[in-house]
Amino acid sequence: MITTAFLIGNLNKEHGGAQQLLYNICSSLPNKEFDITVYYMFGEGTFQKQFERGGVNVVPLNSKSNYDIRTFFGLVNRLRKQRPDILHTNSPISGAWGRVAGQMAGVENIISTEHSVHTGYGPLTRYVNGLTLPLANVAVGVSHSVTRSFHDWERILLSSTTEQYTIQNGVDVQKIESQFENCESALSTHSPFSLNDTIIGTVGRLAEPKGIEYLVRSLPLVKQEYPQAKLLIVGGGPRRQKLEQLGEQVGVDDSIHFSGYVSNVYPLLPNFTVAAFPSLWEGFGLAPVETMVAEVPIVASEIDTFEEVIGDAGMLVPPKDPAALAEAITSLLDDQDRRCELGARGYDRAIERFSITNTVNAYAGLYRDLMATDA
């Protein structure tokens, strides 16, 4: 039995990719081979019950801040008692604490999954994460873009201590597709729109990296050609109020609906005529891949991550450019054949490259390899 401890900053569903990846790994690893405990630092843990229903032991650490010393030493003591074979950290600040705690507790195998491009970190996070990353045996990027984003000084520090890998995130295609039959009821539940509407949709946490403000600014330009166009923004987050105010300022608030956080977005996806993801940076981008499973054509920012993940299965435009975004969206609304072509291409790309089975198998293989090295 491989005793595996996972550490993450929070276990809140609405926070996205890192939490979903952790759930996918924990729920898919063979329980006869892996004994799993998940520790999380902050928050209410809205994902906790879902983990526990799958037989995973979940332990909230109830940290009062990013730098709560009591929580840190509490984690050290827990790891000393548990004596896990592997400690797998996620998220930059909790990952830094976890790597130091793991070393102090004598954990022999420490893995750090890096979920975001390092160029997106602020100075403090960048240095706290980067200076402690060499304490891990292995650093895993969730995309090649994340792995390439390591700063030169980080690579120098890691070169003699830490192996670097890329294990791309994945999605559960069958689970997503099984929800599509409920698309009409989902649309009526989470929006005032109907199946006959021309809907530009986006899914994501309403925070700066997602670039939603540029999508809102593009809508008046789209409506010059398609006055009936609607914008459905699925997700919650700190920038919602500012985005609502922006919609009023540019005169399209009556054509935008903010659904707030939706626990199951999959039935909503087939209702999008076009999906837009104007992110400024991303670690991977689960939402675009999930949307590709729904065969919805995508317009997205031309950033390194989306070039890797979406590629020629979507239309990529310069970031922070509402005019380019509007032009691409309008061109797809003009051309049903093109929409169908990109939708089919996206579906093929999602199932061929980004299956969650491949992701979980890669992590399980990594855990086994580390244990074999120790033997």
pLDDT in tens, 207-250: 999 999 999 999 999 999 999 999 999 999 999 999 999 999 99
Task: Note whether 152 and 32 are same-domain residues.
Answer: yes
Token couple for 122:
């602020």
The Cα 372–Cα 375 span in angstroms is 5
Q: 234 and 154 in one domain?
A: no
**pLDDT band at 12; cut points 50, 70, 90:** confident
Host domain of residue 129: 2-170+355-374
Same domain? 310 vs 359: no
Residues 295 and 335 in one domain: yes
Q: Are residues 109 and 45 in the same domain?
A: yes
Q: Are 231 and 219 in contact (CB under 8 A)?
A: yes
- For residue 375, what pLDDT is reported? 59
- Residue 15: its pLDDT value, please? 66
249 and 234 share a domain? yes
Q: Are residues 223 and 179 in the same domain?
A: yes
Please indicate, yes or no, whether residues 160 and 205 belong to a single structural domain of this protein.
no
**Tens of pLDDT, residues 20-59:** 889 989 988 988 899 999 999 988 788 899 899 988 999 9
Strand ranges inside the chain, DSSP E: 2-10, 34-42, 57-60, 86-90, 109-114, 138-141, 163-166, 199-203, 230-234, 256-260, 274-277, 298-301, 315-317
Strand partners, 8: 40
For the cut 90, the answer to whether the pLDDT of residue 130 exceeds it is: yes
Shared domain check, 178 and 143: no
Look up the pTM and report it.
Answer: 0.93
> Which tokens hold the place of 325?
């975004």
Q: What angle do CA 261, 212, 112 make, to 5 degrees?
A: 70
pLDDT classification of 171: cutoffs 50, 70, 90: very high
Residue 289 belongs to domain with CATH number: 3.40.50.2000
Q: How many domains is the chain partitioned into structurally?
A: 2
Supply the DSSP string of 39-79, one letter for each residue. Answer: EEEES--TTHHHHHHTT-EEEE---SSTT-HHHHHHHHHHH
243 and 131 both lie in a single domain: no
| SS3 letters across 191-246 | CCCCCCCCEEEEECCCCHHHCHHHHHHHHHHHHHHCCCCEEEEEECCCCHHHHHHH
Q: Which residues contact 327 (CB under 8 A, 6 or more apart)?
A: 221, 317
197 lies in the same domain as 335: yes
CA dihedral 11, 12, 15, 19 (to 10 degrees): 40
Residue 47: closest CA among 11, 22, 6, 10? 11
The 8-class DSSP code of residue 119 comes to G
One domain for residues 232 and 146: no
In which order are the strands placed within the sheet that holds 256-260?
256-260, 230-234, 199-203, 274-277, 298-301, 315-317
pLDDT at residue 373 in the model: 78
State how far the Cα of 369 lies from the Cα of 45, in Å rounded to an integer.
Answer: 31
